[in-house]
């Protein structure tokens, strides 16, 4: 057995937050672009958001961590953590709608094939 055929089981990293309440970096373990891009999009596109900057990176494919950076316009409003939680909740609702739609349409597709 070669080294390349040995499966690597990554240890999931917990969530950690660094910075100030209005300018924070979130390190999210076992995640990548699949979560980073939609979260960044939701953070910067909200009309009611006071997010001045949101960006993410996945430092290296072998590192199982997503770095999400969020900076707020004004102190005294929402914190970066509150904005990220809100974006995660919105993303969850979007996923539920997609799942319901796929399940509903999949039933129609199977029915049409019969």
| Intervals of the chain under pLDDT 50 | 1-4, 6-9
Instruction: Please state, in angstroms and as integers, the Cα–Cα distance from residue 30 to each residue in 14, 64, 107, following that order.
Output: 8, 5, 33
Ordered structural domains, the chain, with CATH:
11-113 (3.30.1360.10)
| pTM attached to this predicted model | 0.79
What percentage of the chain carries pLDDT values higher than 90? 58
pLDDT tens for each residue of 30-59 = 999 999 999 999 999 976 678 999 999 999
By the 10 Å C-beta count (0-12 exposed, 13-18 middle, 19+ buried), 35 is classed as: middle
The span from the CA of 1 to the CA of 10, in Å, is: 20
Distance CA 74, CA 96 (A): 32
SS3 94: helix
């Amino acid at each position: 057995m070669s080294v390349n055929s040995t499966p690597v089981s990554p240890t999931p990293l917990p969530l950690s937050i660094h910075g100030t309440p209005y300018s924070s970096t979130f390190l999210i373990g076992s995640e990548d672009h699949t979560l980073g891009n939609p979260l960044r999009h939701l953070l910067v596109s909200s009309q009611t958001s006071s997010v001045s900057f949101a960006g993410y990176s996945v430092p290296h494919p072998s590192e199982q961590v997503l770095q999400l950076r969020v900076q707020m316009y004004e102190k005294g409003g929402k914190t970066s953590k509150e904005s990220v939680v809100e974006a995660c909740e919105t993303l969850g609702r979007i996923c539920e709608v997609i799942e319901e739609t796929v399940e509903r349409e999949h039933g129609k597709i199977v029915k049409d094939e019969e």
